[in-house]
Structure 1
């Protein structure tokens, strides 16, 4: 597992300390994947209701609050596969 994934799991665990009612996956290109579900946050590549894919720079910017998830999606830096409603919930939680 990459250092980026370890740090992302730690940061997302703080934002989603109560878990998430559905299953979401963040795929960080060339780094790995993270799952958020009712059990919390962990590294993994399981099936999910929504999958969001971005490069490490974009994902880091989203976590740090420097990149707006909606704008990243609109400009093609963040790709979403699955439930757009869940993606919007995640985006709001990350902002």
Structure 2
């Protein structure tokens, strides 16, 4: 969990063009919300408003996705990554972190 949080924090500068709030639901490892509506995205455990997109995956799969070891489309197809909300935001997100 700590590594996933750290890796997500490291990716924040790459998310500034996202222009949306995204929730990462890591199941038993917790949830992280990234607000990338401003030039300096911030990460927290709670959102002030509903996210445009929620990505549900394990912490291990988040790390694998960020390392390029998990193809986002294959992970989605196999059910390792679940997306609710805006698919457009999810696609922009994948381009920024994967």
Provide TM-score, normalisation by structure 1: 0.81
Shift, 1:5, TM fit: 4.9
Q: Give ranges in structure 2 of 5+ residues lacking alignment.
A: none
Q: Say what the alpha-carbon RMSD is for the aligned residues.
A: 1.9
Shift, 1:19, TM fit: 5.4
Identify the match of residue 60 of structure 1 among 60, 63, 69: 63
Identify the match of residue 69 of structure 1 among 72, 75, 84: 72
Q: Give ranges in structure 1 of 5+ residues lacking alignment.
A: none
Please give the per-residue CA displacement for 1:67-94, whole angstroms capped at 9, x wherever unaligned.
1222111110001011111111111222
Contact 1:29-1:53 at 8 Å conserved across structures: yes
> Which residue pairs with 1:43 in the alignment?
44
Provide TM-score, normalisation by structure 2: 0.79
> Which residue pairs with 2:23 in the alignment?
25
Q: Secondary structure at the match of 2:28?
A: coil
Identify the match of residue 32 of structure 2 among 34, 38, 50: 34
Corresponding residue pairs, total: 93
Please give the per-residue CA displacement for 1:33-73, whole angstroms capped at 9, x wherever unaligned.
22222241313232201000001111110122211222111
